Amino acid sequence: MNLMLMGLPGAGKGTQAEKIVDKYHVIHISTGDMFREAMANKTAVGLKAKSFIDQGELVPDEVTNQIVQERLAQSDVNEAGYMLDGFPRNLAQAEALDQINASLNKKLDAVIDIDVDPKLLVERLSGRFICRKCGATYHKLYNPPKVKDTCDRCGSHDFYQREDDQPKTVKNRLDVNIKMNTPLIDYYQKAGVLKRVDGAQEIDQVFAQIDAFLSEIN
């Protein structure tokens, strides 16, 4: 079974990826993992990618596509199937993935999109705050201090929020991802492989919905 996992930051992709791997034993392949492996193995395309990364540049699509092809051709993937995470990121890469699958006699069975309202994601991602005195981390929704405005660990009342966790920064990050994901969602919907899951549910309910989809194609 060959899968692709999609979802905005904070949608719970990491948690659901672990559950999918535990049950279906597919090989979880993230973009970062592929790059690290290709560079560690010093493959020709891995060294090419490293030359861009070392200069702080984005790796071109053609190099990324080559690394994906190398990884999907490996024996563990042939035996167990794959779950891509972080690739493709644009339509050109999606079309390249179709060609890679065809060349390897594989097909993409399902694209799982964990769908969560961006407003809810802003709440999830911007709720974290930190005690300035001892560094203890809290979340206003999921892990607030036992006593309001008082650190459980050291009793301080001085908290701050990192720039990355502030609502405006989080919203901008989500907007970028929505713009990137929308054409891919349309592409895979037209291909008939898109499975949308309500990511606002409890973790086990989200997985139950994913499991129902995957049970049909496994």
CA pair distance 148, 140, nearest whole angstrom: 10
Do 38 and 72 contact (CB within 8 A), yes or no?
Answer: no
Instruction: Report whether 208 belongs to an annotated binding site.
Output: no
Q: Which pLDDT tens digit goes with each residue over 82-123?
A: 999 999 999 999 999 999 999 999 999 999 999 999 999 999
Q: Are strands 128-131 and 159-160 parallel, antiparallel or unpaired?
A: antiparallel
Mean pLDDT in residue range 20-44: 90
Distance CA 1, CA 178 (A): 27
Dihedral of the CA atoms 174, 176, 178, 184 (nearest 10)? -140
pLDDT of amino acid 59: 86
Helix 44-53, helix 31-40: angle, nearest 10: 110
Query: What's the confidence (pLDDT) of residue 217?
Result: 86
Is 86 annotated as contributing to ligand binding? yes
Active site residue 89: yes
* Coil/strand/helix, residue 9: coil
Catalytic-labelled residue, pool 23, 89, 106, 132: 89
Look up 71 and say whether it is catalytic: no
Q: Residues with Cβ < 8 Å from 154, sequence gap 6 or more?
A: 131, 133, 134, 136
How does DSSP classify residue 89? Answer: -
Asked whether the beta carbons of 140 and 129 are under 8 A apart, the reply is: yes
Choosing from 13, 71, 124, 195, the catalytic residue is 13
59 is in an annotated binding site: yes
129 is in an annotated binding site: no
Residue of 23, 133, 173, 196 marked active site: 173
In the chain the domains, ranked by start, together with CATH numbers, are 2-116+169-216 (3.40.50.300)
Q: 23 falls in which pLDDT band (50, 70, 90)?
A: very high
pLDDT at 218: 73
Q: What value does the mean pLDDT take over residues 143-154?
A: 96
Spatial CB neighbours of 144, under 8 Å, sequence gap ≥ 6: 138
Question: What are the DSSP calls for 93-116, one per residue?
Answer: HHHHHHHHHHHTT----EEEEEE-
Q: Is 154 annotated as a binding residue?
A: yes
Q: Spot the catalytic one: 71, 162, 171, 195.
A: 162
What pLDDT is attached to residue 154?
Answer: 97
162 catalytically annotated: yes
**Residue 188 labelled as part of a binding site:** no
Lowest mean pLDDT among 18-32, 35-49, 87-101, 181-195: 35-49
